[in-house]
Structure 1
């Protein structure tokens, strides 16, 4: 499960970098052609990249919530729940051994 999240996060970061590079190229071309100043082009690129980052984060969060719901619906134990149960079993085993 955590591998899936890591891959999704890396994919989102890769897309963000690609979008940022593409927007900088487009902004540079517009500035060269005189359609806007270099500063306007940089601001436009930054604004678009910031918006793309927000959208990617939103999609990522929705994906996580969706997976959590699916796991919950199918009664899949989370890693934390499993670790908590494992600790309780160890504590009970120790308590049992101490009573002997």
Structure 2
């Protein structure tokens, strides 16, 4: 499951990079057509990329919430559950400690 999460997040990063390239290409085209001043192009790219990154963060948060809900629904033990059980076993095996 952890590997699936890593792949999903990597996909989101890849989409952001691809989107940045497309944004830069579209803005360059606007500059070539004279619809945008070259001095304004970098700022426009920066603003659009920032908006895309903000959207990506929202997407990541939504994905985390969905995965957390799914794991709870499937009743899969969390790291904290396993650590608590390990401590309990340690106490049972070594009652004098």
TM-score, normalised via structure 2 length: 0.84
* Count, aligned residues: 97
C-alpha distance in 2 between matches for 1:67 and 1:11: 16
Per the TM alignment, residue 20 of structure 1 is displaced from its structure 2 partner at its CA by 0.7
Gaps of 5+ in 2: none
1:83: Cα distance to partner? 2.6
Alignment of 1:16-55 (within 5 A): 16-55=16-55
Q: Which residue of 1 aligns with 2:89?
A: 89
Worse-matched range after superposition: 68-77 or 46-55:
68-77
5+ residue gaps, structure 1, are none
2 CA distance for matches of 1:15 and 1:87? Answer: 42
Runs of 4+ in structure 1 off by over 4 angstroms are: none
RMSD: 1.8
Q: Distance in 2 between matches of 1:57 and 1:43?
A: 21
Bigger mean CA deviation after superposition, 40-49 or 17-26: 40-49
